[in-house]
Structure 1
Amino acid sequence: MNLMSVDGYQARISYNPETDQFRGEILGLSGGADFYGSNPDELRREFKQSLEVFLEVCREQGIEPRKQFSGKFNLRIPPELHEQLSMEAEAQGKSLNALAQEALQDSLRS
Structure 2
Amino acid sequence: MNRAEHYAYRVRWSVEDESYVGTVAEFPSLSWVARTSSEAFEGIRGLAEDTVEDMVVSGEEPPIPIGERSYSGKFQVRVPPELHRRLAIEAAEQNVSLNRLAAVRLAARP
Same fold by TM-score greater than 0.5: yes
Correspondence for 2:76 among 69, 73, 90 = 73
Alpha-carbon deviation of 1:62? 1.6
Q: How many residues align?
A: 100
User: Could you tell me how far apart the structure 2 residues matched to 1:7 and 1:65 are?
Assistant: 9
Partner of 2:96: 94
SS in 2 for 1:94: coil
Identity across aligned pairs (percent)? 19
CA-CA distance at 1:91 after TM superposition: 2.2
Shift of residue 106, structure 1, vs aligned partner? 0.8
Q: Choose from 81, 84, 87 the match for 2:86.
A: 84
Kept in 2: contact 1:16–1:23 (CA 8 A): no
Structure 1: stretches of 5+ with no match in the other structure:
1-5
Match of 2:41 in 1: 44
User: Which protein has greater RCO, CA pairs closer than 8 Å, 6+ apart?
Assistant: 2
Deviation of 1:46 (Å): 0.7
Distance (Å, rounded) in 2 between the aligned partners of 1:65 and 1:57: 15
Q: Which structure has the highest strand share of the two?
A: 1
Q: For residue 20 of structure 1, what is the aligned residue in structure 2?
A: 18
TM-score relative to the length of structure 1: 0.66
